[in-house]
Structure 1
């Protein structure tokens, strides 16, 4: 059944005469789409425009209750929009209604900033813009001295203020990546729905310390390709029954989100891997003392797990040091996460012997660029292995390894390894480094492990560590060349096998170190190498 949008269709001219303000005939019309909140704004507006016989510019688009609403000028545009009703169908073949009615002048037009006010706002925003990071800091904008000194009251809950701000951003900061709107007492985000069109490049949005009470407000910006979102200090953080429900609601608005900073219940920082929900966070109440209960180790299972972890480390570092680290792809989960840190400040990079590691180092305390922090957190196994491949080539001293398994469940194993390695190529050839590596892994096939999180810390080795590195004496078979002797020693160190077994493995593979490493890994995984082939590990 066709529904009329006006009960009594009077001539549009008469409607315009009756809708007056300050004695001047008005020409504004309100367009309402019932249940419009369930549709993507871009899709909805493109659909309406494609079915409308007259091009139009929507003013003050916003979601309200379950609907969507905007304003247009001119009776001809209003009449054309009336005819769009019932002509658009959504994915479930439901017809979309469009209601049109006369309106007073929209707030953003009626209260539009004067040219001199726009110029001062532009100057204020320019002072708050960081060109190097493409970041705009608008926190506590209302009390900015440059605005208060000129009697300009910018309240970002008002559509006219948000519209003016977005206009300046669109024209002057077209490649904006980070937008900080914290501490602005925001309780609704109606005006920010236009950010999709006017600042589509924004990846980082800070809405912390505002008054947002519902994720429904965030849905008004649905479609923005955010990678990092700050929500601390908003009432909405405590409106969900559990953590997973909260995360799903946020991801429905921003599916590409990598990093969510929130205070769900209490204070916590959550880093999210692409497309994966995380388990409930460990909550720390900062106002009261807390105790972390130790995880009890089962003696019965400890030896099995010890063997599994040591076997994994032997295989991992054998492949890592053999030359082609692309073969480490099989050790990582498809959506694994990796970070690297080194213990020095950026201003020391040029003189530090660790400069080869500096470009990939991620220190949240020192790194000020939030976008770079996300970039340096490597996601997906291909990005991780690519990063590992460009790091200096190494030889690890397995005899130096100190391994600690500090948490375990049926589906997760957390362990750390400390030790030393030396670089074998480049300007730092022969330099000894110390490292700490923390792995979080899940069970995989053939009694092996799959890495889901990998954190590596590298530093210069101390004099004592350098002196003791690679110091375990090994007999040298006299029948081998110097190069072959070094290969046997290196293979024995990395594989954990005795010298004679390492020599046999290399000889069987025609002294091809890489091939021997692959064969060793395969046979070890299948349990085909006898126990007597291995050295005892203290």
Structure 2
């Protein structure tokens, strides 16, 4: 007598096999007998396996393609268990997957020939045409793949609607999946043969459009949207066509480009790239190709193109990533605006300091020693003589947003924030005016309120960008420590001085701009590495005037005009090497025009017309 549930379960079932059943009506002649149970009326069938009561049910298209179990058996008219369940009223829904490939499984398809199955499916789907990729038999099932979501949905809706010649209805299970990848030497050889037919040696161009449908690759999965396959293809191309100049990757369902950074490394001459009809969604993905020297690019058919309502904005964004681009999507672009500099040009070597005129080196050095000797002293009041009556000063501060070390208490810049004149943050006119200090009294008063410091003078990077008789512009950056602050924190600074002659025959600061922030890790490691600072001498007593002077400074009490003449005399003497007598003659003959005097000196010196006694001091 058969067990409850309609027969003995089969124990020899193997995964991937399908038993021989179909949708045709059969009269098996099986008799169903019911045996009296001792538990009358109480959970008579509680041990039944509900899955055995299923006759025909939906297929789960989410991922597995497995038959879903019902929660309980259907109770038909009269309350008898085992009555045929009705067809569900709702219609199965096709779920679009992330991957562009779909696996089609035909259970019991091994009973028919491949041509019989595909011809029956093609006739039903006509006039639509599909390509069955990588057809094979696994157990009792026939399996193939399609690479089009619309076609996969039509095949999904054709389930149990196609009658085969043997009277069976074709069952079609569709799920989102790609074939298994196993890159072997044999696969690489087939890829190489397919590429050889697609390569144009005359133009050094390789056309890999729809590479996976190439006849040479009919029996293997070779879709270039899979990174492992794309990288294998790139290796083959680099080995056999290292001087490749044009590559066509159209219609390969490519979506990710991060692994294509290697193109710029493997192919230095690649200038033409076609990536049309793929699945590139954002312009940011093109960052991986930015290093390529592209002059032509094709992107039509990608979702990123549809993100731009303005075609000019689209061209501008692409041109920004590829400045040398001359052609985009089969349209010529206007010539790029660029400087006529060779690609192989090299930058000058890095130097810590720059002097527009070497003769100003000693002046700058002396000024820094005098100024910072007072600035780092106990009192900064002596700096009053270093600033012009109408001098201006601005302080700006900000944190290094990318440095995680700015969270500690010693990293706080609150002392400087209250004086900061950051124009990006202070937009009102009155606060901007209030934070601009005008006049040497206001300037030195603010400097005195700032924390006491000790500067690393040997670590300064100094630039003398303007050196003229009437004005000097001096910039510097470096580090200092706050000697009276808890933790003795290090700070980084950048400072610009605009210096002009003063009435006493020296120079004074007309404009002072100071920027303060936290030190970088590299600055922190190198700070105060030298034990011999420039200003090693103790700070001078009471109030030495930090006047920027030269060896031939004029005496006090001279007029402004005389002061400027003395300054020009000193500068010309230092720059040319001539003694004072010859320098005065040169300036007098040119009407005290410094630039003209220097020009005449250089001209006469090149002609050998200046006697040796002019250089005797």
Please give the TM-score of this superposition, normalised by the length of structure 2: 0.29
Q: Which has the larger radius of gyration?
A: 2
Greater helix fraction, Structure 1 or Structure 2: 1
Greater strand fraction, Structure 1 or Structure 2: 1
Please give the TM-score of this superposition, normalised by the length of structure 1: 0.33
